Amino acid sequence: MNKFELLGLNEALLQAINDMGFETPSEVQEKAIPILLQEDTDMVALAQTGTGKTAAFGFPLIQKIDANNRKTQGLILSPTRELCLQITNELKNYSKYSKGLNTVAIYGGASITEQAAQIKKGAQIIVATPGRMQDMVNRRLVDISAIEYCILDEADEMLNMGFYEDITEILSHTPKEKSTWLFSATMPKEVATIAKKFMRTPVEITVGTKNMGTSSVSHEYFVVNARDRYAALKRLADANPDIFSVIFCRTKRDTQKVAEQLIEDGYNAAAIHGDLSQNQRDLVMKSFRARQIQMLVATDVAARGIDVDDITHVINYQLPDEIETYTHRSGRTGRAGKSGVSMVIVSKSEARKIRGIEKIIGQSFERKEIPDGREICEVQLFHLANEISKTEINHEIDRYLPSINELFEGLTKEELLKKFFSVEFTRFFNYYNNAQDLNAKASNEVYEDEGDSTRFFINVGAKDDFDWMSLKDFLKATLDLGRDDVNRVEVKDSFSFFNVDSSKAEEVIRIFQDFKHNGRHINVEITKKSAGKERSGGGRKGGGGYKGKDKGGRSFDKSSKGTDKGRRRSSDSPASGKRRSSDAGSGGRQGKKSGGRSSSIESSIKRRRSKK
Ligand code: ADP
Ligand code: MG
């Protein structure tokens, strides 16, 4: 007897299973199907992605539904449009011999009237994304008042994406007497909460190890004066050249404003909020997925449903009104096993709220400093150096080489390198030269004065398999220092920063002179003095902050535009970004109006990479 038959599945399903070529049930199917077929029970099933969860609920659902009754009896909620369509497809395959059974998909970004018409024809099973479902429930385009089975698929993802309210709202329109089956890859607190709230003594099934959900997101906050918020945002972006981020604002208006400012300053940014048409939103999301947009500025509502992996940073430009919303925001990063950073920019008076958020997320925040100009110049310089060292040589260049050679005849390699890097470095240097310290001291915060501490640069980083903890250990061991003597360790790709008490600075330099690690020469340099002392000593206070300066010096203004524009493909609207990348093959450089040659190098590197 076929193993699926042993589970109690009927002939119509067995035939379909045979057609699909499934031979043996997967573990979650073996465990879930008999129970769901025999009992009317709630269930929580935890199993990793790809373990066959769709069939685990799909087979029993199809068998239990009365195909002669045209009423909607089963509702499946799933986090994204893609999954929604995938599940619908699978269910249609499973039920191809189950006469009269009809499954309809409901999801955003497609005609709602069309979907309503399909439902009207009779859909015993609806597969839906929460946002569109709620919309249709509110408009009375669907009737779920008599459903018998409700399935929450990928519950962890749905909650991650901020669909908690929608789910609650949708479920409130369903009868109390029904079976709820929850399927999830992980069991974070939020999923446990929802199970408790909506289910009655569910049968629990676990396949593999129970995964509590990864806390691969680290949380950081920055305290600035309210008027420096935007400048701080730019610095955070500049200090992270590979940033691929969602930036949250509180209102549609702020979202639009910040995005416009970023675009004007030459960043690849765009806004997404409720005032955009569905079509516009789709376009923005398409460019974001294609990495043509590095900074997506969003409202909380519009960001629900953003299912993009690899987001490196979530930036809370403003804290949400309800601090509970923070979880939904930070959940946009650190997905699919990757790590991510959630940053919060707060004013002094808002800094208190951080403690409240820590309680909610059960994780602590690290207070960080908005990087200063020097640090950004260094990051950008080494980023460029890194990119260049990784770049494959394009031999089309060979034929131009004689004339280029002629131009640089007589320069040593060192002089040439200096010149080459100055092109980019000088832009940043001019922009950030004399840039003001944007960090405000938070009064009530746990923020120990660092005393007189010195910040160092070291030419090892993530590339050398260091993370901040291992680098700290390495430094402590090498420098023979105590537990708290090395701090503010920050590891970048090919280099890092750390702080040591200034009294030990000379010692640090001495130890690292002619020091080798894994056969590589280690270079350690002082970057700047840290802590309040040096900064408050500066006479820049009168400048009236960032804005004042921006207005004050015209040359600054100009160079700022030049800097940013050249560097980041100015005003890349999704459309122009597309055009440009397709231009790239046929002399796309000429298409560049501003920015000049040097910038083309870096942006063409970026372009190349973004296409990967
Ligand atoms: P999950 O929802 O757990 O991520 P899916 O239900 O999407 O996993 O299933 C993953 C893939 O495995 C699908 O292509 C599905 O058709 C296939 N599959 C499911 N069950 C079986 C089985 N018993 N034998 C062979 N393939 C299966
Ligand atoms: Mg699935």
pLDDT at residue 139, rounded to an integer:
94
How many A from CA of 22 to the centre of ligand 1? 9
Least confident of 193-197, 271-275, 363-367, 604-608: 604-608
pLDDT at residue 175, rounded to an integer:
95
CA atoms of 56 and 65, how far apart (whole Å):
15
The total number of residues shown for the chain amounts to: 612
Is residue 293's pLDDT more than 60?
A: yes
Q: How large is the average pLDDT for residues 6-16?
A: 95
Q: How large is the average pLDDT for residues 384-393?
A: 92
Is residue 31's pLDDT more than 90?
A: yes
Query: Could you report the per-residue pLDDT of 306-339, keeping only the tens digit for each?
Result: 778 889 999 999 998 887 788 888 888 887 667 8
CA atoms of 448 and 439, how far apart (whole Å):
14
Q: Are 98 and 12 in contact (CB under 8 A)?
A: yes
To test the ligand 1 pocket, which listed residue (9, 26, 183) has its Cβ within 8 A of the most ligand atoms?
26
Q: Which residue has the CA at smallest separation from atom 17 of ligand 1?
A: 52
Q: Which residue has the CA at smallest separation from atom 10 of ligand 1?
A: 50
Q: Which ligand is nearest to the CA of 16?
A: 1
How many A from CA of 206 to the centre of ligand 2? 15
pLDDT at residue 247, rounded to an integer:
97
Q: Which residue has the CA at smallest separation from atom 19 of ligand 1?
A: 52
More reliable by pLDDT, 507 or 590: 507
User: Exposed, middle or buried: residue 195 (CB in 10 Å: 0-12, 13-18, 19+)?
Assistant: buried
Residue 154 CA: nearest ligand 1 atom is: 2
Is residue 487's pLDDT more than 90?
A: no
Query: Could you report the per-residue pLDDT of 111-157, keeping only the tens digit for each?
Result: 999 999 999 999 999 999 999 999 999 999 999 999 999 999 999 88
Beta-bridge partners for 218 = 341
CA atoms of 480 and 494, how far apart (whole Å):
24
pLDDT at residue 109, rounded to an integer:
85
Residue 87 CA: nearest ligand 1 atom is: 7
3-state secondary structure of 247: strand
Is residue 35's pLDDT more than 80?
A: yes
pLDDT at residue 553, rounded to an integer:
27
CA atoms of 407 and 50, how far apart (whole Å):
59
Q: How large is the average pLDDT for residues 476-487?
A: 79
More reliable by pLDDT, 543 or 111: 111
User: Exposed, middle or buried: residue 395 (CB in 10 Å: 0-12, 13-18, 19+)?
Assistant: exposed
Element at 490 (helix H, strand E): strand 486-491
C-beta atoms surrounding 507 within 10 Å:
14
Q: Which residue has the CA at smallest separation from atom 1 of ligand 1?
A: 50
Residue 26 CA: nearest ligand 1 atom is: 23
How many A from CA of 97 to the centre of ligand 1? 19
Q: What percent of the chain has pLDDT over 70?
A: 82
Domains contained in the chain, CATH given: 3-206 (3.40.50.300), 217-374+579-598 (3.40.50.300), 453-529 (3.30.70.330)
Beta-bridge partners for 529 = 454
pLDDT at residue 529, rounded to an integer:
52
pLDDT at residue 135, rounded to an integer:
94
Q: Is the pTM of this model over 0.85?
A: no
Query: Could you report the per-residue pLDDT of 552-605, keeping only the tens digit for each?
Result: 222 223 333 333 333 343 332 222 232 223 333 333 223 333 333 333 333 333
Q: Which residue has the CA at smallest separation from atom 12 of ligand 1?
A: 52
Nearest to 268 by CA among 576, 609, 539: 576
Q: How many CA atoms lie within 13 A of 5 on its CB side?
A: 5
Query: Could you report the per-residue pLDDT of 53-105, keeping only the tens digit for each?
Result: 999 999 999 999 999 999 999 999 999 888 899 999 999 999 999 999 999 99
**CB under 5 Å of ion ligand 2: residues:** 53
Is residue 444's pLDDT more than 70?
A: no
To test the ligand 1 pocket, which listed residue (22, 29, 54, 184) has its Cβ within 8 A of the most ligand atoms?
54
C-beta atoms surrounding 270 within 10 Å:
27
Residue 58 CA: nearest ligand 1 atom is: 6
Please, which pLDDT band fits residue 241 given cuts at 50, 70 and 90? Answer: very high
Of these ranges, 484-493, 543-552, 599-608, the one predicted with the greatest mean pLDDT is 484-493
Chain center to CA of 263: 20
